[in-house]
């Protein structure tokens, strides 16, 4: 599906640029793209970019391509390609066209030959170490490569032999001829092509030379007629190189370079794109580096890319976040040029806001202790009617079984209660949700551990009875011990215990900051109406939090629920671990 354009106009500096470009007639159709590299799974930072690129296209009646910038075959995999497509669709977006930078490899090659003929590129024999040595520093200019002044004929011959596979990996590169004294190190004769004899996930063994990212990315945007190339701030210093590649190749005035696409029936609308940078998403209590996320997976520190503690989109999905909550988060943090750190609670707040409105309610008990209502017959059994959502009648109602023996939360009873405790205590009363008022008469122990509570239900306080409005301070939830279904409940929390896991002071790394309480698995009990649902069904378990039936492990005969988020921000209240 595609997310509809918003009814309320959004305002940020990028949208203002787009409005101005449309108003002055610079563009009639807005064209954007989301260009991930298929070298890992997408995370919440990518979701911000997805919402921006696809959102702007929808808002202004344009279109957005999904393009895989697949120029580094050693790190890319079809698994990542399929996962990225699934994530984009799950977030609620669809693309105008699905493209790959590798679709344009022949165009890139012809463009590189044009740069050589025009005197703007040369084949260099320096090793990678020598290239770094010649590059200079931020305060010292670089030095020209000894191979910089090769003739056009020699460069063309060597480049064609590079393509033919005559030379070893890393032995030669094609470099742009720009300015080794530039204050922008990206312009100091950057590499455009390198030799890499590695099969490609999309083109197989067709190529043994591959374009560098900046070269391929800029020309891909130009080939597709992208009007606004939106990227994060770390690419700001790359923009002069981006523009250099687009201007020197000049696809608009050299359509012959696009011949390979026409022969394959691939449409193109060559144009000069404009790169615009915005701040990337940074959230505390997490890491966003693909390298670090990959290490967490490979070292077994998490259960996989879709571990519900991971900031990956597939992990957040398995955790129970909704596409709407992630889109709301993207809207709420906005778009700016200023890097900032977003508190994790902002994301959790968006999740609660969405699920409060959309998640049906169910009863569940995480840490059970039995409550026996001794004034009911042992065979007592009845069905009570509960609303599925207290704020929305359209959700309907359901039948909840009730019997003499119940499971209640262990923390809802205390023998010696602290001040302000308004739940069950010896000799005290509490309201059972939807049932009536019960009194605790007896505590049964095995040593120091409480194994059972015995009490009585005041029949005059049942719904519809004269005493139903009698006031008591506390209300607790329950499930019928006779009817409840055992469920595996995975209580997830933040993966890291400190706000800045990347802080490496005192010799520590992000691995040292992992939260030992980020997952706790318990056997709880859920009412029958929660047990038989399909995977990825979301509920609010009353008084406990929002949960989702695990998309892989849950089955009607073996329910498994993941806690998405607690009902309140316990981290803020406790100054840390929730």
Mean pLDDT by 10 residues, the chain (578 residues): 62 96 97 97 97 98 98 94 98 97 98 98 97 95 98 98 97 98 97 97 96 98 97 97 98 96 88 96 94 96 97 98 98 94 96 98 98 97 97 97 98 94 96 97 94 97 94 96 98 95 89 96 97 97 98 94 93 54
- Looking at the fold, whether 371 and 468 belong to one and the same domain comes out as yes
Handedness of CA 164, 166, 169, 173 (dihedral sign): negative
Q: Is 213 annotated as a binding residue?
A: yes
Out of 239, 290, 309, 327, pick the active-site residue.
290
- Looking at the fold, whether 493 and 348 belong to one and the same domain comes out as yes
Q: Is 418 annotated as a binding residue?
A: no
Clarify whether 290 is annotated catalytic. Answer: yes
Q: Is 47 annotated as a binding residue?
A: yes
Dihedral angle, C-alpha 503, 505, 506, 512, nearest 10 °: 10
Q: Is 577 annotated as a binding residue?
A: no
Domain that holds residue 382: 364-477
Beta strands in 219-279 (DSSP E): 228-232, 274-278
Contacts of residue 117, Cβ cutoff 8 Å, sequence gap at least 6: 152, 156
Q: Is 37 annotated as a binding residue?
A: yes
Taking a C-beta distance cutoff of 8 angstroms, is the pair 385, 398 a contact?
yes
Q: Is 289 annotated as a binding residue?
A: yes
**Helix/strand/coil for 297:** helix
- Looking at the fold, whether 356 and 383 belong to one and the same domain comes out as no
Q: Is 232 annotated as a binding residue?
A: yes
Number of domains in the chain: 2
Residue 499: inside a domain, yes or no? yes
CA distance 319 to 315: 6
- Looking at the fold, whether 407 and 507 belong to one and the same domain comes out as no
Domain boundary among 444, 477, 510: 477
Residue 412: inside a domain, yes or no? yes
Residue 395: inside a domain, yes or no? yes
Clarify whether 37 is annotated catalytic. Answer: yes
DSSP secondary structure code for residue 562 in this structure: E
CA distance 477 to 485: 16
Q: Is 184 annotated as a binding residue?
A: no
- Looking at the fold, whether 492 and 573 belong to one and the same domain comes out as yes
Residue 25: inside a domain, yes or no? no
Residue 376: inside a domain, yes or no? yes
Chain centroid, CA 226 distance in Å: 25
Burial of residue 394, with CB atoms counted within 10 A of its CB: 0-12 exposed, 13-18 middle, 19 or more buried: exposed
- Looking at the fold, whether 371 and 465 belong to one and the same domain comes out as yes
Residue 236: inside a domain, yes or no? no
Q: How many other CB atoms are there within 10 angstroms of residue 529's CB atom? A: 18
Taking a C-beta distance cutoff of 8 angstroms, is the pair 66, 85 a contact?
yes
Domain boundary among 443, 458, 477: 477
Q: Is 292 annotated as a binding residue?
A: no
CA distance 31 to 91: 20
Taking a C-beta distance cutoff of 8 angstroms, is the pair 201, 189 a contact?
no
Taking a C-beta distance cutoff of 8 angstroms, is the pair 134, 145 a contact?
yes
Task: Enter the tokens of residue 79.
Answer: 């698994």
Helix (DSSP H) and strand (DSSP E) numbers for the chain:
15, 25
Taking a C-beta distance cutoff of 8 angstroms, is the pair 315, 306 a contact?
yes
Contacts of residue 180, Cβ cutoff 8 Å, sequence gap at least 6: 134, 135, 136, 141, 142, 143, 144, 188, 189
CATH value at residue 378: 2.40.240.10
- Looking at the fold, whether 469 and 516 belong to one and the same domain comes out as no
Out of 37, 76, 113, 542, pick the active-site residue.
37
- Looking at the fold, whether 534 and 578 belong to one and the same domain comes out as yes
- Looking at the fold, whether 530 and 571 belong to one and the same domain comes out as yes
CA distance 508 to 522: 31
- Looking at the fold, whether 495 and 471 belong to one and the same domain comes out as no
- Looking at the fold, whether 324 and 288 belong to one and the same domain comes out as yes
Domain boundary among 449, 477, 505: 477
Task: Enter the tokens of residue 567.
Answer: 């009902």
Q: What are phi and psi of 186, to 5 degrees?
A: -65, -20
Out of 15, 85, 272, 280, pick the active-site residue.
280
- Looking at the fold, whether 350 and 491 belong to one and the same domain comes out as yes
Residue 560: inside a domain, yes or no? yes
Q: Is 43 annotated as a binding residue?
A: yes
Residue 466: inside a domain, yes or no? yes
CA distance 82 to 53: 20
Q: Is 120 annotated as a binding residue?
A: no
Q: Is 248 annotated as a binding residue?
A: no
Q: Is 202 annotated as a binding residue?
A: no
* Spatial CA neighbour of 35 closest among 58, 68, 74, 81: 68
Q: How many other CB atoms are there within 10 angstroms of residue 47's CB atom? A: 24
Q: Is 46 annotated as a binding residue?
A: yes
Clarify whether 391 is annotated catalytic. Answer: no
């Amino acid at each position: 599906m595609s997310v509809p354009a918003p009814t309320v106009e959004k305002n940020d500096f990028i949208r203002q640029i787009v409005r101005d470009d449309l108003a002055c007639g610079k563009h009639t159709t807005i064209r954007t793209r989301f260009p991930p590299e298929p070298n890992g799974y997408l995370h919440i930072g990518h979701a911000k970019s997805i919402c921006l690129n696809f959102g702007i296209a929808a808002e202004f009646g344009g279109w957005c391509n999904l393009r895989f910038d697949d120029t580094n075959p050693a790190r890319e995999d079809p698994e990542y390609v399929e996962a990225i497509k699934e994530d984009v669709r799950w977030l609620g977006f669809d693309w105008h066209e699905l493209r790959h930078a590798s679709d344009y490899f022949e165009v890139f090659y012809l463009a590189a030959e044009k740069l050589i003929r025009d005197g703007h590129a040369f084949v260099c024999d320096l090793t990678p170490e020598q290239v770094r040595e010649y590059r200079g520093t931020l305060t010292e200019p670089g030095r020209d490569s000894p191979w910089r002044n090769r003739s056009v004929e020699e460069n063309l011959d060597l480049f064609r032999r590079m393509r033919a596979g005559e030379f070893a990996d890393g032995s030669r590169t094609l470099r742009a001829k720009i300015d080794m004294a530039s204050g922008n190190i990206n312009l100091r004769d950057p590499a455009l092509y390198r030799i890499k004899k590695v099969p490609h996930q999309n083109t197989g063994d067709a190529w043994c030379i591959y374009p560098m990212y900046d070269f391929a990315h800029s020309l891909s945007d130009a080939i597709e007629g992208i009007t606004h190339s939106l990227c994060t701030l770390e690419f700001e210093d790359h923009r002069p190189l981006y523009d250099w590649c687009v201007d020197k190749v000049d696809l608009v005035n050299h359509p012959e370079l696009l011949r390979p696409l026409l022969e394959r029936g691939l449409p193109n609308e060559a144009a000069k794109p404009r790169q615009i940078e915005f701040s990337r998403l940074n959230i505390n209590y997490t890491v966003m580096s693909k390298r670090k996320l990959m290490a967490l997976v490979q070292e077994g520190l998490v259960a996989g890319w879709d571990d519900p503690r991971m900031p990956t989109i597939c992990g957040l999905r398995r955790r129970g976040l909704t596409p709407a909550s992630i889109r709301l988060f993207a809207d709420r943090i906005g778009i700016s040029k200023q890097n900032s750190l977003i508190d994790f609670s902002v994301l959790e707040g968006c999740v609660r806001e969405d699920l409060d409105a959309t998640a049906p309610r169910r009863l569940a008990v995480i840490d059970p202790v039995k409550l026996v209502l001794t004034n009911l017959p042992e065979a007592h059994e009845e069905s009570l009617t509960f609303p599925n959502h207290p704020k929305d009648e359209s959700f309907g109602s359901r039948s909840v079984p009730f019997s003499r023996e119940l499971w209640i939360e262990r923390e809802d009873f205390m023998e010696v209660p602290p001040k302000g405790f308004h739940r069950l205590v010896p000799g005290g009363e509490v309201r059972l949700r939807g049932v009536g008022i019960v009194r605790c008469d007896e505590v049964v122990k095995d040593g120091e551990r409480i194994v059972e509570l015995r009490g009585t239900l005041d029949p005059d306080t049942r719904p519809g009875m004269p005493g139903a409005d009698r006031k008591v301070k506390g209300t607790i939830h329950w499930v019928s011990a006779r009817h409840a279904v055992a469920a595996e409940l995975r209580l997830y929390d933040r993966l890291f215990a400190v706000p800045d896991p990347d802080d490496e002071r005192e010799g520590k790394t992000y691995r040292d900051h992992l939260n030992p309480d980020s997952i706790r698995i318990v056997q709880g009990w859920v009412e029958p109406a929660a047990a038989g649902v399909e995977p990825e069904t979301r509920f609010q378990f009353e008084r406990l939090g929002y949960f989702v039936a695990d998309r892989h492990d849950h089955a009607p005969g073996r329910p498994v629920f993941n806690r998405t988020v607690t009902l309140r921000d316990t981290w803020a209240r406790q100054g840390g671990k929730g």
